[in-house]
Structure 1
Amino acid sequence: MNLEVEARNIAMTPRWKTEIEERMAALQRGHDDIIHGRVTLTKNRHHKKLDNVAEALVLVTVPTRQTLTSRKEDKTFEEAIRAAFDAVAIELRKYREKRADKVARIEPLPQLRGVVSKVFPNQGYGFILKDGGGEVYFHKNALKGLSFDEVQDGLEVLFESEPGEKGLHATIVQAPHLLKP
């Protein structure tokens, strides 16, 4: 992870820099998803901000090129740093939870062989005669790499099936030449 630490209108103290580095390391601990971090400490000289003169800005970039940002003002830089890191930690936790919820769905390659025996173009379904006998229902949504217009009686197909309400139905239907080696 690349970390930039800077100060504006004030000199950076070693204590602040050490605290920033430790807090950034804590955000990264157990994960390897922070690409870049930047922390800017600014002393506000604006007359309306006499109470909160210390500002900490924390930016964290994650692999999706998304930037999580937190800007906090407080009376001291220590408090502003702590508040900004606490806020960005919450955002980072939400980001990680959202990414963890995404499960890659891998469809099995069709293993069963058959021949299309009946097609009902107006209704968008048909039947496959399995090798070894028996018919399997398929809907046009089960087709992979084929348009429903290409499906004709006698077309050789590979398919996967599962039990349905009225018998077996195909979940994936492909022509053998469409399978990747």
Structure 2
Amino acid sequence: MQVPLEITFRNAERSDPVEAVVRERADKLKQYFPNIVSCRVTLEVPNRTPQYDVLNHRVSIEISVPGQELVVSSEPTEHEDFNDIYVTIRNAFEAAERQLKDYSGRLRESRKPIEDSPYATVNKIFKDEGYGFLLTPDEREIYFHENSVSHPGFSKLSEGDTVRFVESRGDEGPQASLVKPAAR
């Protein structure tokens, strides 16, 4: 994740064991979509009053991925008098995993195969800032971000390397939504 995980306890006591389970489950989300920008988890006890402790818990998860916000909430049904916080966390993260798998699948479907993509040369690379520019055979310069570079990754690229890329329209002009080092 580019932004550290945020965990908020609302109307509930902070708990180290609960927080550890949330961190473990949030770490697993990367296997469903590796380019998660941020993740915010809120654990709360709704309708809690000083005279009456409601033992139901609500877990909300907000996941930022490039171009979209995914939101999941798991809460008790109207017929439950009690729900286990760990079961609610599990249910919320399972729903988040399904959403990430679905999002990842939609991205794969919308991308054209990289094997049919044009070649370019890495013209400039700014490793500390996490971006660079490609130079196409027709002398156009295309921006790319480190998150758009496939295996073996951004850190292995150097100026002069030949790559295949998928071009898309960015806010400030053309950019590469996928960059793959060409086979050597």
Asked whether the 8 Å contact 2:45–2:54 carries over to 1, the reply is no
User: Root-mean-square deviation (CA), in Å?
Assistant: 2.7
Confirm or deny that 1:55 pairs with 2:47: no
Unaligned runs of 5+ residues in structure 1 are 110-178
1:90 to 82, 98, 113: 98
Quote the sequence identity (%): 24
Bigger radius of gyration, 1 or 2? 1
Unaligned runs of 5+ residues in structure 2 are 77-82, 120-136, 140-184
- Indicate the SS of the match to 1:21: helix
1:23 counterpart residue number: 25
CA distance in 2: counterparts of 1:107 and 1:8, whole angstroms: 49
CA offsets per residue over residues 13-51 of structure 1, 9 Å max, x none? 11111111111111113642111000000101269xx98
CA offsets per residue over residues 48-86 of structure 1, 9 Å max, x none? xx987200001110012x111111113121111111111
Confirm or deny that 1:104 pairs with 2:62: no
Confirm or deny that 1:8 pairs with 2:14: no
CA distance in 2: counterparts of 1:11 and 1:51, whole angstroms: 13
Confirm or deny that 1:43 pairs with 2:51: no
TM-score, normalization: structure 2? 0.52
Question: In structure 2, do the counterparts of structure 1 residues 96 and 107 end up closer, same or farther at CA, with 3 Å as the change threshold?
Answer: closer
Question: In structure 2, do the counterparts of structure 1 residues 59 and 107 end up closer, same or farther at CA, with 3 Å as the change threshold?
Answer: closer
CA distance in 2: counterparts of 1:73 and 1:12, whole angstroms: 18
CA offsets per residue over residues 76-128 of structure 1, 9 Å max, x none? 2111111111111101100000111123375779xxxxxxxxxxxxxxxxxxx
> Aligned letter for 1:91?
Q
> Aligned letter for 2:138?
K
Confirm or deny that 1:81 pairs with 2:93: no
TM-score, normalization: structure 1? 0.53
Question: In structure 2, do the counterparts of structure 1 residues 107 and 6 end up closer, same or farther at CA, with 3 Å as the change threshold?
Answer: closer
CA offsets per residue over residues 107-155 of structure 1, 9 Å max, x none? 779xxxxxxxxxxxxxxxxxxxxxxxxxxxxxxxxxxxxxxxxxxxxxx
**Shift, 1:9, TM fit:** 0.7
Number of residue pairs matched? 109
Asked whether the 8 Å contact 1:45–1:53 carries over to 2, the reply is no
